[in-house]
Structure 1
Amino acid sequence: MKKTRKRALITGITGQDGSYLAEYLISRNYDVWGIIRRTSLDPLMRLKTIAHSPRLHLLYGNLRDSPAITRALKEAQPDEIYNLAAQSDVGISFKCPEETWEVNYAGAKRLIREAMRICPKARIYHASTSEMFGKTPPPQNELSAFAPVSPYGEAKLKAYRELVCGYRAKHKLFICSGILFNHESSRRGEHFVTRKTTLSLAHIKLGLQKSFALGNLEAKRDWGFAGDSVRAMHLMLQQKTPKDYVIATGESHTVREFVEAAAKELGMTIRWSGKGLREVGKDAKGRIVVRVDKKFFRPSEVRDLRGDASSARKELRWKSHTSFKQLVRMMVSADLKNVRQQMH
């Protein structure tokens, strides 16, 4: 008897992680349903490689709309659900805290409760975040204390404790979380610090921009490749029992180091001078290319994140395949290519 293909439902499918996960699942012979929001921008800009696949099915809706969630679950009848939809900008969460809570906590609750009713046997992956650790010093693992300092981290922590840990214990639901540290790619939103840096430097290299501004240059992050992270999400739902895992590279770098590495890929050298808000980064000719602007500082900053993913390596057999240098090179090359194409 021919085995039927697995069916997956992805919220946030048009985002960075959702697009890589959809590609990965389709490559593994899944039928994939995705919930997309109505937008004036092209919702398929990150899904171009699979946009015409007969295995991709897109449905309009969002986590604020219960009828849309119900309709998506009934149509997809998923074996696996990946909840990646979120208000994912930590800085914006300080300015729009209610929206952040509405999507990241209440929206997740709507989805999970409806999934329990409509497809109770479905396995659920819920995206958690290293921002839940907040002020806890590195290295952070599954046993580290949570101490979030942003509305984003707080909403994600409540969803994790109540909906993941709580429902798993109370309802015996197969639900788990990946506590993902920063993961980047050329598909990252242009307002995130890594992509803002690679895109701005590509413009500067080609003479289309003079400089750009950043916030805290000393913030340290564990930056990995989003394409590596989605493999871990899938692996978690293939286990016999649901369990949460930290997904990280185990290596951290400052924002300053990211800027320097990106510039190096473009044959540029950044020399720093000044202190605090007056610090600037200059190129070899002494022209200012990077400035520090207080408007990009967060009201409360997470200073140092570095994950310990030893449990994932041991139990899931997962590991990051992309080094920091390779990640930076990948992002710089993609942005340089895209900017050049836009010039012609």
Structure 2
Amino acid sequence: MKKALICGVSGQDGAYLAKLLLNKGYTVFGASRDAQMSSFGNLKRLGIYDDVKRVSISINDFRSVLQTLQRAKPDEIYNLAGQSSVGLSFEQPVETLESISVGTLNLLEAIRFTGLPIRFYNAGSSECFGDTGNVPADEQTPFRPRSPYGVAKAAAFWQVANYREAYQIYASTGILFNHESPLRPERFVTQKIVAAACRIAKGSRETLTLGNIDIARDWGWAPEYVEAMWLMLQQQNADDYVIATGKTHKLSRFIQVVFEAVELDWRQHVQTDPSFFRPTDIAEGYANPAKAKKQLNWEARCSMEDVGRMMVEEKMLAEI
């Protein structure tokens, strides 16, 4: 029976990944900064709270990381921890850099120090690429991040590459484009849109205020993306992969899909406010996930339209 340690198990990806690994027969250790105080609401929502062995770990503290690895002796580590909001990274740049970059470095160094044959997955981000115009980004596309979050993820990516080359550690980065689900908190714009649309459909007279709705992104379904994470660690050799649907849509189109799912015209309920714009933002994000399809045999099955409708259905059901 394989053992996996998921750092950041309480988040969207961590919870779905824990469920996937449990279904595959893994013993799953779910790490949180304070496992005794954390609510692990997403694990409870997925019905797996009692199946995950919850452990406390501060990934910014090397000693804490080392002790956890020596106790759990995992076969695989999935690093999904760290500040996860691009918008918030402009307000908390130091916390963002430390939680992502230093945390990743501590995990890699602890693997090297223990000498355990651990396979390591690092959660990268399409934010590393910045603006590539309308050219789809792949694994060879240069990084030019436009947010503190993107800078931190880029630093972590190169740390992983360095440890893989210098110490022959099995370490892979998944460069994931946007992926959503009902487990997203409302500080993420997709869930903010879904929640507002559902409230308005039930009689709320509010107007949804957003920033730039002309940005374009490649949106996928989170439960599919965690499958790609697992597949990366099952390959003979460690490598990095772009994970995306390969299709890009404007945020205004996502808004339209969501409001149509509740039989509303979004233009009557949505307004924009320039004060919500970020200091720098990526205008359009395009992805080329061909390598993942060829080497991992992974391909996104759900479209952006599917994602929007499924999020609405779940939200409406949850509030009945």
Determine the structure 2 residue equivalent to 1:336.
316
2:15 pairs with 1:35: no
Tell me: CA distance 1:40–1:332, structure 2 relative to 1, closer, same or farther (3 Å). farther
Match of 2:289?
A: 309
2:163 pairs with 1:183: no
Is residue 294 from structure 1 mapped to residue 274 from structure 2 by the alignment?
A: yes
Q: Contact (CA 8 Å) 1:216, 1:296: kept in 2 or not?
A: yes
1:159 aligns with 2:156: yes
Cα distance in 2 for partners of 1:80, 1:40 equals 23
Q: Counterpart of 2:15?
A: 19
SS at match of 1:46: helix
Bigger drift between 58-67 and 306-315 goes to: 58-67
Q: How does 1:227-306 map to 2 (within 5 A)?
A: 227-270=223-266, 281-282=267-268, 289-306=269-286
C-alpha contact 2:218 2:287 (8 A) present in aligned 1: yes
5+ residue gaps, structure 1, are 271-280, 283-288
Q: Report SS of the residue matched to 1:332.
A: helix
Maintained 8 Å contact 1:136/1:145: no
1:50 corresponds to which residue? Answer: 48
- How many residue pairs were aligned? 317
- One-letter amino acid of the counterpart of residue 329, structure 1: R
Contact 1:78 / 1:119 at 8 angstroms: preserved in 2? no
Structure 2 CA distance for aligned equivalents of residues 46 and 9 of structure 1: 17
* Matched ranges for 1:93-242 at <5 A: 93-137=89-133, 138-161=135-158, 163-242=159-238
Report if the CA contact (8 A) 1:200-1:209 is conserved.
no
Give the CA deviation at 1:117.
Answer: 1.6
Offset, 1:41:
8.1
Give the greater-gyration-radius structure (CA): 1
Of 331-340 and 258-267, deviating more is 331-340
Instruction: Using structure 1 for the length normalisation, give the TM-score.
Output: 0.89
SS at match of 2:41: coil
Displaced runs of 4 or more, over 3 A:
38-42
Q: Aligned equivalents of 1:97 and 1:314: distance in 2?
A: 37
Report what 1:275 is aligned to.
none
**How much has 1:308 moved relative to structure 2?**
0.6
Q: Partners in 1 of 2:255 and 2:151 — Cα distance? A: 29
Query: Does structure 2 retain, via aligned residues, the 8 Å contact 1:11–1:35?
Result: yes
Which ranges of structure 2 fall in alignment gaps of 5 or more residues? none
Contact 2:216 2:251 (8 Å CA) reproduced: yes
Give CA deviations for 1:6-29 in whole Å, capped at 9, x if unaligned.
000000100000000000000000
